[in-house]
Amino acid sequence: MTETTLKEIAAHINGRIIGDENIVINTVSPLDTAGQGSISFLANIKYNKYMKTTEASAVLANKELETSAEAIVLCDDPYYSFCRIVELMYGHRQHHKPGISPNASIADTSQIGDDCCVYDYAVIAENVKIGSGCMIYPGVYIGEGTVMGDNCIAYPNSVIFEDCVIGNKVIIQANATIGQDGFGFATHEGVHHKIPHIKRVILEDDVEIGSNAAIERGSLRDTVIGAGAKIGDSVTIGHGARIGRGCLLVPQVGVAGTAELGQYCVIGGQAAIVGHIKVGDMVMAAGQAAITNDVEAGKQVAGSPAIDAGKARRAYTLIQTLPEMKLEIKRLSKELEELKKAHGSNE
């Protein structure tokens, strides 16, 4: 943690201070729990209510607002600016760097670039190529022939199978599995025959794979996670699926085999995407949605099976009124019957 001034902070993010530039900042906090010396941010209108009560010394915001904070720092994208301030003051995880451990198992035929660390009990199989600046944490397994770019991190006990292709600056969280055989069987006379999975997993640059996630290798075509995509904890991705660049898959999402997601999709927690369908660019799916058909680019969907999100919001809220609807229909039917009788007797 570093103590700094609002002036330095504003300079770092190219922000404009409304208030005293000499305020001392020594920590970062959310609006509601911030105290003296904190810098905070307003990125979500939902938290507007805290602006007048926050005890933060300064707040990042994209417009001038009434606040109990001593100062506002104006900037276009307060959340991103806040992220950059956290980086400035705290930085990212510092890796302990002992170099190549004598207690790691590294095949003679593998190549490891400069400034890498391979920690205790990691295993690097034959013909693996690892770029420079990579951190291979304890218990990691990297299978034969896999190629990894520069500045990647494989956290403890993550497993990468053979012949995978990992780009630059890829992060693989602890206990994630990359490149295992997919769930592919040809059932014949009551026996599920395993289909050889002869293709790979490709993780492009800047991908992050969450803890305990499982990314299957392809059987007939590669499984690909596009550049900059972020995959949450315990997500499963089936063989041959394609996840476009910049997609965000929140924890526990399941993508079935050979599904295709365009660029910059955002898929909510526990949502499912069935196999062999295409989801266009920038599609957003609510949590627990089940996408069972192709979805056009830019659409927002929700529900199981997934439909237009606006429609789903209105419709799913009404499920709870089904008992009343049923009673009302019954009442109408009865009254109509009576009316018909009365009308008949009228004629």
Q: Provide the annotated active-site residues.
A: 239
Give the dihedral sign, CA 60/66/67/71.
positive
* Nearest residue (CB) to a copy of itself, 20 versus 87: 87
Least Cβ distance, residue 159 to a copy of itself (angstroms)? 4
* Nearest residue (CB) to a copy of itself, 16 versus 326: 326
Residue 50 binds a copy of itself, judged by CB under 8 A:
no
Residues 314-333 that bind a copy of itself (CB under 8 A): 314-323, 325-326, 328-329, 332-333
Pick left, alpha or beta for residue 190 (phi over 0 → left; psi -120 to 50 → alpha; otherwise beta).
left
Least Cβ distance, residue 72 to a copy of itself (angstroms)? 19
Residue 123 binds a copy of itself, judged by CB under 8 A:
yes
Residue 233 binds a copy of itself, judged by CB under 8 A:
yes
**Cα 65 to Cα 50: distance, rounded to the nearest angstrom:** 11
CA-closest candidate to residue 27, choices 61, 55, 65: 55
Residue 213 binds a copy of itself, judged by CB under 8 A:
yes
Q: What contacts 50, CB < 8 A, 6 or more positions away?
A: 31, 32
- Site track 247-286 with a copy of itself (rule: CB under 8 A), x = hit: -x-xxx-x-x-------x----xx-x-x-x----------
Least Cβ distance, residue 200 to a copy of itself (angstroms)? 13
**Cα 245 to Cα 260: distance, rounded to the nearest angstrom:** 11
**Cα 13 to Cα 78: distance, rounded to the nearest angstrom:** 10
Which of residues 17, 42, 128, 159 is near a copy of itself by CB under 8 A?
Answer: 159
Give the dihedral sign, CA 58/62/67/73.
positive
Least Cβ distance, residue 344 to a copy of itself (angstroms)? 9
CB neighbour class for 162 (10 Å; exposed up to 12, middle 13-18, buried from 19): middle
Residue 120 binds a copy of itself, judged by CB under 8 A:
yes
